Structure 1
Amino acid sequence: MYLRTVRSKGTEYVQLAHNHRSGGQTRSEILYSFGRKDQLDLDALRRLVKSISRFLEPEEVEKIQEELGMDWPFEFLGSRKLGGTWLLDGLWRGLKLDEAFNRLLSQRGYRTPVERLIFAMVVNRALAPASKLAMEHWVANEVWIEGLPEVEVHQLYRAMDFLLEAHDEIQRDVFYAVANLLNLEVDLLFIDTTSTYFEIEGEDPDGDEADGFRKRGRSKDGQPGLAQVVIGFAVTRDGIPVRCWVWPGNTSDMNVVEEVKRDLNGWKLGRVVVVMDTGFNSEENRRILQGTGDAYIIGEKMRLGKDGKPPDALKRAGKYKKLENGLEIKEVVVQPGSVAHRRFVVVYNPEEAERDRKKREDIVAEAERRLAELGNLEGKEHTKAVCELRAHATYGRYLRQAKNGALKINRAKIRQEEKLDGKFLVSTSDDGLSTEDVVAGYKQLWQIERVNRQLKHTVDIRPVYHRLEDRIRAHVLLCWLALLVIRVAENETQCTWYQMKRILSTLELGIHQTRHGELCQTNRVTEEQKALFQALHIKPPARYLAIPTPRSA
């Protein structure tokens, strides 16, 4: 087999031919004609070489490719995760968060792509939480983020400085961008706090560089010995976190209401009903929450004073109304018609009452067993055991000490507790809300509890690698933005973020090196991935995200 050139009427043609013997004579047979030599079809030649190359040694193939200037086969350089970053970028732009940031950035003279840097840090919290230093490798080697091929840690810190510097404007602009696009109902806002701790020795002294920010306080993580900060969120009835706050670790819930109310008033939201749990309840806080014509729904303590007696509202007679969900409710108004009048709603859950009863019976039975064991002890050993049992947080509440010092089951306490089984108490300053709406609003506090869980288990706010107050505050803002886009995605798709990450995990971007440059190609989008993109009104990625420009001949 060989290539030959033949001339016809002054024009040369290139042919693929081979010789074979027939009847004792050698004859030439044309296998393929490549056409005129001056108009040679190089693509046809390349296709032929590719086919033949399958039967050659690698060294021979490489030599042929070099001689013919071929780009086949591509050299595979690696792949990047694309699914999660593509979806979040589409959602980020769809919510016009990029426009909100760029509008604020236009007033400042940054040379680095600050909006892209902030987006990258938000995406990192949502997909693979890590330190800012680790993000250098993550952005450059593990994921594909449009407009940001690589980052340096000092650029990330500078973007965090901007985030904190403009945090009031950012939170306001982000809120209005999201609220207008999603038609968020903000007439009902849930407020709650959580805490996150630092694994450091001691706490920040007052007046130092960190300004006493990491402080010991009432831990909501079960880590009372560690320094912490307190984080607050305002969450809509759809579970969208629209505002966040950070306070020193020794700040109590009682002391945050005034700042929260002042910040929300600055947004001029119209009339808002704020829903809070029992920990925020005080006469002063209730007064603040009613300011500017707003109202509150707030949880009430079920036991008052040292004796743990129930409040008067629980003692008032009245007929319960049964709801479709099985709850029973009744309204109680204390001092009606006076300035000091207050409106309460008593809620009774029969199923919860049964659980409370069984739980108490188990505790009392164990307390009786431990009391019986005391009879086998004498002297100091007996005295120590009695003190420990009396002071026990669980069993001690159902015990009383007789005049002779002996411990007995407190039957009066048990009868008192029976009256509280399955009940909770809510008050509101809004006389226009129905009792059903008051209860429904308070029951929706689980929305903010879900946000608090996702803060710790989805965007992994811990461990916090920062020491200075400004860095800590900026870190919390990044976590808030990550929670915001995650909750929007969950609401629109009716999927959990964990499910979405699993579905998107197979969508990657392959990078190939050709003679003309790098070629970036995605694998095919699955039906599940298409459904996610469609639900969020995001266009799926094209098969080729970067096409090399052929070199001139």
Structure 2
Amino acid sequence: MYIRRVTRKNKNGTTTSYLQLAHNEWDPKAKYAKAKVIYSFGREDQVDRAVLERLASSISRFLSPEAALQSKETVGEVASFLFQSSKSVGSLWLLDQLWKKLGMEEVIQACFSSRQHEMDIERLLFTMVANRAVSPASKFSLTSWVEEDVYVPGVETVQPHQLYRVMDELLDVRAELEKNVFYAVSDLLNLEVDLLYFDTTSSYFEVSPDEVSEDETFRKQGYSKDKRPDLLQTVIGLAVTREGIPIRVWEWPGNTMDMTVIEQVKQDLIGWKLGRVIQVADRGFSSEKNLRILQQTGGHYIIGERMHAGKKDVEEALSKRGRFQVIRENLHVKEAIVGDGEARKRYVIAYNPDEAARDRMKREQIVASIEAQIDALRQEANEAHHKKACALRAHPTYGKYVRQLKDGTLRLHKQAVRDASKYDGKYLIRTSDDTLSIEDVALGYKQLLEVEDAFRTLKTTLQLRPMYHRLEERIRAHVVISWLALLLVRIAELQTGETWTQIRKEMNRLHVGHFSTKDGDLFQCTEVTQKQRRTFGALGLKPPPNILDLQANS
């Protein structure tokens, strides 16, 4: 049924138009549909427009809000629309759809199912996770962020006290949450979890040590990997799969040493049904005690060894003769077995020609600088040392290449330079698994860079640091939220082949406009670009509909 316009040509050459309410009926004889007039409104120039508006209004009571909106546009009411605001929706929509695809919604709801809450914990937790990934800010800033800047599906407003309450309760279900998230993600993505990479980093707090109470147990000063030893910090551990997906995160007091955490990591992963697990770790975890822990319950390890540690076994492995096998242009490897029987140790020596050239060039620059500084000292035999000579000997880089003669003068230590050249472009790897090829060992250790990339994303893109929380529970919850954001970000990067920075920049261009009329509110998205559509397609997600929401006035 529709309104049609019929025109008639008058004798004086003018035309007159008539409006009719009609519908099509099938004519079996003519074999096509013919228009049947139900009602004639008369001449178009004499029709009372209010009659048509009342008709459209009465019909719209039986239509969906979107269909009613379309019917109002046909009678000219679009002019009454007010453009209230515009919010970014693309990144939030992508993260929300990915969050639900991974089953996170069900996992969170299951973890908190026994708790009675008036607030929607799952939506509040997602809001904090999404904020970390899209525009990291404090919990107090989230209120204005949600209300003014972004469209968060299912969330119209948040209050800081709600977010802090979610953080406080998050740790109560953390163990269950971590395990269920791992199962949901590994099943959906078919992750290979026989090889796990583990490393630690540190993250600091913007607070002076003088401002901390004596009973502080978590925020401590320690070895800072952020080069901020002047600030309090916490130590963070991360385990990722060979694809770079972070499956678990840990936090320890800021003065925790790397070598002391491996036992807890091993125990925490027991019962996760990981099958044969080969843990890959950096040189900071290569103590004999840690290696024994990693081999408990049938586990294995691939771990970096310090070449300058002075260990007898390491020196013997490095002195083994043999040709390097070329795996890749920048990766040559050879195997070295040290000892027999239970004392047998398997090493793999890796060599990177490009890295060797860089090491050699860097050392040549250091040697040239040392020689220039020694010449500038203008030393005399048995002369008392002055500050510049002492500073050169104590220098962390130059000092090892400087020697002092019996008469007190300084000279370049040529033997130290020759010894250092033996290590150019090389690194030493130790493994407990004899079934792995030397290629798998070398490539497995090289993939430890995935953890370093994850830490870099945490600290820069997701702005994990600096942290402003004071309570240990809030600090731990903040790290867990950042881990969940990293999980979504890494999956998006893995499946699209682009960095999260690139994805986020493009998705943030997708906006939703809020329009209001006397009949209700309309939320309409800007057109999805081809690039945005490709990103959604690569992740197996649907872009937001053109009409995101309609809220009719009662």
Under TM normalisation by the shorter chain, which class is it?
0.7 to 0.9
Equivalent residue for 1:453, pick from 449, 452, 456: 456
Q: Which residue of 1 aligns with 2:318?
A: 314
AA aligned to 1:106 is S
- Map 1:198-277 to 2 at 5 A: 198-202=205-209, 208=215, 211-277=216-282
AA aligned to 2:254 is G
DSSP-derived class of the 2:223 partner: coil
Q: Which residue of 1 aligns with 2:427?
A: 424
Tell me, in whole angstroms, the C-alpha distance in 1 between the residues paired with 2:523 and 2:326: 62
Tell me, in whole angstroms, the C-alpha distance in 2 between the residues paired with 1:423 and 1:295: 23
Instruction: Indicate yes or no: 2:126 matched with 1:122.
Output: no
TM normalised by structure 1 equals 0.86
Q: Which residue of 2 aligns with 1:526?
A: 529
AA aligned to 1:113 is D
Tell me, in whole angstroms, the C-alpha distance in 2 between the residues paired with 1:463 and 1:201: 13
Equivalent residue for 2:184, pick from 170, 173, 177: 177
Tell me, in whole angstroms, the C-alpha distance in 1 between the residues paired with 2:543 and 2:465: 33
Identity fraction in percent: 48
Deviation readout 1:159-214 (Å, 9 max, x if unpaired): 11121111111111101100000001110000001111112111786872xx4211
**Deviation, structure 1 residue 358:** 1.4
- Map 1:118-517 to 2 at 5 A: 118-202=125-209, 208=215, 211-305=216-310, 311-336=315-340, 338-375=341-378, 382-517=385-520
Equivalent residue for 2:118, pick from 105, 108, 111: 111
**Deviation, structure 1 residue 46:** 10
**Deviation, structure 1 residue 304:** 2.1
AA aligned to 2:269 is L
**Deviation, structure 1 residue 547:** 1.9
Tell me, in whole angstroms, the C-alpha distance in 2 between the residues paired with 1:95 and 1:480: 15
CA RMSD of aligned residues (A): 2.7
AA aligned to 1:89 is D
The answer to whether the 8 Å contact 1:203/1:216 transfers is no
Equivalent residue for 1:96, pick from 97, 103, 122: 103
Q: Which residue of 1 aligns with 2:36?
A: none
The answer to whether the 8 Å contact 1:353/1:423 transfers is yes
Equivalent residue for 1:72, pick from 52, 76, 79: 79
DSSP-derived class of the 1:134 partner: helix
Deviation readout 1:110-138 (Å, 9 max, x if unpaired): 22100000000000000000000000111
AA aligned to 1:244 is V
**Deviation, structure 1 residue 268:** 3.0
TM normalised by structure 2 equals 0.86
**Deviation, structure 1 residue 322:** 2.2
The answer to whether the 8 Å contact 1:71/1:515 transfers is no
Structure 1 residues 318, 117: CA separation in 2 closer, same or farther (over 3 Å shift)? same
Tell me, in whole angstroms, the C-alpha distance in 2 between the residues paired with 1:257 and 1:329: 27
Q: Which residue of 2 aligns with 1:546?
A: 549
Tell me, in whole angstroms, the C-alpha distance in 1 between the residues paired with 2:234 and 2:265: 16
DSSP-derived class of the 2:130 partner: helix
Structure 1 residues 285, 383: CA separation in 2 closer, same or farther (over 3 Å shift)? same
DSSP-derived class of the 2:208 partner: coil
Instruction: Indicate yes or no: 2:548 matched with 1:537.
Output: no
- For these two proteins, the number of residue pairs brought into alignment is 502
Q: Which residue of 2 aligns with 1:15?
A: none
The answer to whether the 8 Å contact 1:203/1:214 transfers is no
Deviation readout 1:405-427 (Å, 9 max, x if unpaired): 11111111111111111111000
DSSP-derived class of the 1:246 partner: strand
Tell me, in whole angstroms, the C-alpha distance in 1 between the residues paired with 2:235 and 2:473: 14
Deviation readout 1:377-404 (Å, 9 max, x if unpaired): 9999952211111001111110111112
**Deviation, structure 1 residue 107:** 1.7
Tell me, in whole angstroms, the C-alpha distance in 2 between the residues paired with 1:153 and 1:206: 25
Q: Which residue of 2 aligns with 1:18?
A: none
DSSP-derived class of the 2:140 partner: coil
Tell me, in whole angstroms, the C-alpha distance in 2 between the residues paired with 1:127 and 1:245: 23
Unaligned runs of 5+ in 2: 1-11, 21-39, 56-71
Structure 1 residues 369, 69: CA separation in 2 closer, same or farther (over 3 Å shift)? closer
Structure 1 residues 33, 342: CA separation in 2 closer, same or farther (over 3 Å shift)? closer
Unaligned runs of 5+ in 1: 1-21, 23-27, 48-64
